Structure 1
Amino acid sequence: MATENEKITPKSSLRENVEAILIAIVLALFIRTFVVQAFKIPSGSMKETLKIGDHILVNKFIYGIKVPFTDMTLVPVSNPERGDIVVFKFPEDPDKDFIKRVVGVEGDTIEIRNKHLFVNGAPVDYKQAIFTDPVAIPKGVQPRDNFGPITVLPNSLFVMGDNRDHSYDSRFWGFVDLKAVKGKAFIIYWSWDKENFGVRWSRIGDFLK
């Protein structure tokens, strides 16, 4: 039996609650920084793969552990591959996050001929890609439908939106530095249709391909 000097003083309810909140905050920050982060899709550049109002989770660990608040990779794990859907800091405004599909990695030669994508001279057709404008814009006018050939620089990616006729991507502003990549999008956890004011239940839980 404990003596009077050995009696354990119970923590106050306030202290317990404060400690629980602090632990929860630390865990949330750790998960958000190193493991998984949530993003909301604001535009239609990745339709129909991702629609406006989709909420997604991004795996931040898959490409390596970064030093918090920097672009420095502390523990490299892997690099993005062709076909991955990645979130990255927009090269023209690093305060903004963009999401696109990787179509070219370091050393690849990228060319677009009349809307058709060629990688290293071979045609590549992503089933997720959609085209809504039947007109093919000449190369001298803008690079949307006729582009390249161009070789992807070291430690860089060439990315495009699945909504090919309505995506502001590498065709217009160039490569994505690997250091700017935040992670790989892998699942839709919520989807809100603002126009019809309703939940897209069928999209919740969809794994991204």
Structure 2
Amino acid sequence: MNSGKFRSELWDWVKSILVAVVIALVIKTFLFNSTKVIGSSMYPTLHENDRLFTNKIVYIVGEPEVGDVVVLQAPDDETKDYIKRVIAVEGDTVDINDGIVYVNGEAIEEGYIAENSYTDAYDQNHWEIPAGQVFVLGDNREFRASKDSRSLGTVDEELVKGKASFRYFPFDRIGTI
């Protein structure tokens, strides 16, 4: 093989690798991310070490909706991310009384929490959700099992990084969330 042909082929390989890296970075930065579940705050929906795909673009074009499982920058520690469920959005009110969560005065159906779960209100039992904020809870309602809006208050939508939409590991639990 002559030197010119080798250099041309090498340059083609380098360009292909660079394009692939740029595409991967764009996808990871703007479209999708992979998230590993640490802790049990979303049990029984999510388990420790579950791996999820997080859709970032959904909140570039829209806003979090009630029921979404979201990845958010921890309001109390910018180096951490939390995974929580959106319970209420701006304009809603949330009350927790006798272990039951009420949004706008109506008890909500929470088929995603463990049977006979009791939702403790911690130190406050009434929240009004301001514009640009969401109220989030972990699905694990055991006492102090989840650091969520009951202790952190409402969360700025700007901290919501994406919607956890698909579990890809472990393989026996693969599927949409």
TM above 0.5, one fold? yes
Structure 1, unaligned stretches of length 5 or more? 1-8, 65-76, 192-200
C-alpha distance in 2 between matches for 1:30 and 1:133: 41
Shift of 1:132: 7.5
State the Cα deviation string for residues 21-61 of structure 1 (Å, max 9, x = none). 21111001100111110010011110111111110001100
Residue of structure 1 in register with 2:156 after alignment: 177
**C-alpha separation in 2, matches of 1:12 and 1:190:** 41
CA–CA distance in 2 between the matches of 1:14 and 1:48?
51
With the length of structure 2 as denominator, give the TM-score of the two structures: 0.89
* Unaligned stretches of 5+ residues in structure 2: none
Query: C-alpha distance in 2, partners of 1:88/1:175?
Result: 12
131 and 114 in structure 1: CA distance in 2 versus 1, 3 angstrom threshold:
farther
1:79-102 residue CA offsets vs partner (Å, 9 max, x unmatched): 111000011111011221111000
Matched pairs, number: 171
RMSD: 1.8
Return the offset for 1:131: 6.2
Name the counterpart of 1:94: 78
In the TM superposition, structure 1's runs of 4+ consecutive aligned residues that sit over 6 Å from their partners are 131-134
Structure number with greater CO (CA < 8 Å, separation at least 6) is: 2
Question: Does the Cα contact within 8 Å between 2:69 and 2:83 map onto a contact in 1?
Answer: yes
Q: Which residue of 1 aligns with 2:15?
A: 19
2:50 to 51, 54, 76: 54
Q: Note if 1:157 corresponds to 2:141.
A: no
Aligned partner of residue 164 in structure 1, secondary structure: coil
Larger Rg computed on CA atoms? 1
- Residue 133 of structure 1 deviates from its aligned partner by 7.0
Letter in 2 for 1:129: I
Report the 3-state secondary structure (helix = DSSP H, G, I; strand = E; otherwise coil) of the residue aligned with 1:93.
coil
SS of corresponding position for 2:35:
strand
* Amino acid across the alignment from 1:15: W
Aligned to 1:105: 89
**% same residue:** 39
